Amino acid sequence: MDASMDAPLNDFDLYDARSRERLVDEPPKRVEAPERTPFERDRARVVHAASSRRLAAKTQVVGPASDDFVRNRLTHSLEVAQVARDLSRALGSQPDIAETAALAHDLGHPPFGHNGERVLAEIAQSCGGFEGNAQTLRVLTRLEAKTFDAQGASVGLNLTRATLDACTKYPWARGEGPDPLKFGVYADDRGTFDWLRADAQGTRRCLEAQVMDLADDVAYSVHDVEDGTVAGHVDLTRLDTAGVWQTLREWYLPDASDDELDAGLARLRTVGSWPTTPYDGSRRSLAALKNLTSDVIGRFCGDVQAATFAAGGAPMARYGADLVVPRTTWVEITVLKAVAAHYVMQTADRIAIMERQRELLAELVEAVAARAPESLDRPFADDWAEAADDAARLRVVIDQVASLTDPSAVARHARLSTG
C-alpha cells in the first residue's frame, strides 16, 4: 500500500529547520499565492533555470537532432523525476525533494553526454578535473545566478540544504571516494559542499539522493531499450546474450556470472508484456512497448519499496533510513542497461560519431582558452577577470564549454575555427 495513504506528509515533522535552511536567508514573500513550501520553491527554481532548458539540446544516448522520437537530456530528466517522485511518495518521504534532485541531476553534463564528460575530465586535470555531478553542484550553487550573498558572490539558486544534499550523487571530493573517476565537488566549491553536508555521516547519501540515483538507473535502463527498439537496433525477442553479458561485465558488473545474468533475463521475460514478436512500428507494437516500459518500471520500484520497508528504519527521510535495492533487482536493471550499451552505444557508426565529438570538444576548449576573454559569454568573462591564476582561468573555460548545448558547441567551434 502507498505509505502516503496511511499518514499525510508533514514537512515540519520530517524536515527540520536545518533541512529547510538556505545559504542566504530569504524573508517570506510579501505576496505569494498559492502558498508554497520551501521544497516546492526549490522545484520551481530548477524548472525555470536556463540550465534546465539547455538540456533539451544535449545528448542522452544519441544526439537530440538525430530523430524525433529519441530522448534528450531534458526528456530523460523529466522521466527520472516522475519515477523519483512516485517512489518517494510511496516510501513516505518528501516527493518534491526527490523530484527536484531528479530534475537537476544532469544539469552539469556537457555537450555530447558522457562522451564529452570524458574529454573535459582529461583536459581539466590541472584545475581539479571534471565530473558531471560536481558540475551540477557548481551550476546549482554558483553558475545559475539568482541570489547573491553579502559579499556579492553568487550562491546560485539558493536551494535548501535538504534539496542540495539530495542532488549530491557522489558526496566526496576527487580522490576521496571508492571510484577515482566519480566525485561530487571541486575544491573551490568545498565550502558550500561542507555546509550542505553538515548533517551527513561520512560519505553516506541521504535517502532522497538514493531515490534520485535509483530513478536515474531505472529510467535510462528501460527507456534506452525502448529508444533502441524503435530505432531498429534492439530486438528483445532475439538477444545475443553472450555479447550482451560481455558488455555488461565490462561496463557495469564485472563479478556477475552467466548463470546470474541468465536468471535475471529469465525473470524479465516473465513480465506479461515482454514481447514475443519483433517490433514492427505499428500502433499496436508501440502500445505494447509502452506497456512493457510501464510494467518494468513498476516492477523495479515495487521490489525496492518492499525491500526498503522490510529493512525497517524511520523516518523515511534524509538519514532516517536507506534505500534497499535487492541484488536480483539490480541485476535486472543492469541487464537492460547492457542491452542498450551493446546494441546502441557500440555500433560502428556511433563509435565514429563519438570520436569526432571528442575531437571537436577538445579543439573548442583550446580555441576558447586561446581567445579568452573575448570568446566567453559575459558571466564567464567576468569570472575570467576575477580568476587568480591559470588553473582558475582554465576552470572558467571548462564552465563555459560545459554550459553549451550540442548545437551551440558545434556552432561556436565553427565560428572560432574560421574567425
> What tens digit of pLDDT does each residue of 69-120 get?
567 889 999 999 999 999 999 999 999 999 999 999 999 999 998 899 999 9
330-386 pLDDT tens trace: 999 999 999 999 998 888 888 899 999 999 999 999 999 999 999 999 999 999 999
Check residues 2 and 46 and name the one with the higher pLDDT: 46
Confidence of residue 3 (pLDDT cuts 50, 70, 90): very low
Residue whose C-alpha cell reads 534497499 in the numeric block: 324
pTM of the model: 0.93
Identify the helix (H) or strand (E) that includes residue 201: none
Is the pLDDT assigned to residue 64 strictly greater than 90?
no
Q: Before 8, cis peptide (omega within 30)?
A: no
SS3 at position 185: strand
Give the per-residue pLDDT at 179. Answer: 86
Distance, in Å, from the CA atom of 320 to the CA atom of 289, rounded to the nearest integer, reads 38
Of 113, 44, 42, 117, the C-alpha closest to 76 is 113
Query: What is the fold of 11-196?
Result: Hypothetical protein af1432 (1.10.3210)
Residue 249 CA to residue 254 CA, distance in Å, equals 4
Q: Given this model, what pLDDT does residue 4 score?
A: 38
Peptide bond into 315 cis (omega under 30): yes
CA 259 to chain centre: 31
pLDDT band at 6 (very low <50, low <70, confident <90, very high): very low
Amino acid at the residue 63: G
Angle at 220 between CA 163 and CA 93, to 5 degrees: 30
The answer on pLDDT for 250 being more than 60 is yes
The predicted pLDDT at position 71 comes to: 75
Classify residue 381 as exposed, middle or buried by CB count within 10 Å of its CB (0-12, 13-18, 19+): middle
So where are the chain's domains? 11-196, 207-349, 351-418
pLDDT, position 10 = 57
Mean pLDDT of the residues in the chain: 92
> What mean pLDDT is predicted for residues 192-211?
96
Task: Using alpha carbons, select from 120, 83, 371 the residue that is nearest to residue 210.
Answer: 83
CA-closest candidate to residue 206, choices 164, 166, 177:
166
* Phi, psi torsion values for 105, nearest 5 degrees: -65, -25
Structure confidence at residue 34 (pLDDT): 67
What pLDDT was estimated at residue 312?
Answer: 86
Using omega within 30 degrees of 0 as the cis cutoff, is the peptide bond preceding 110 cis? no
Q: What percent of the chain has pLDDT over 70?
A: 93
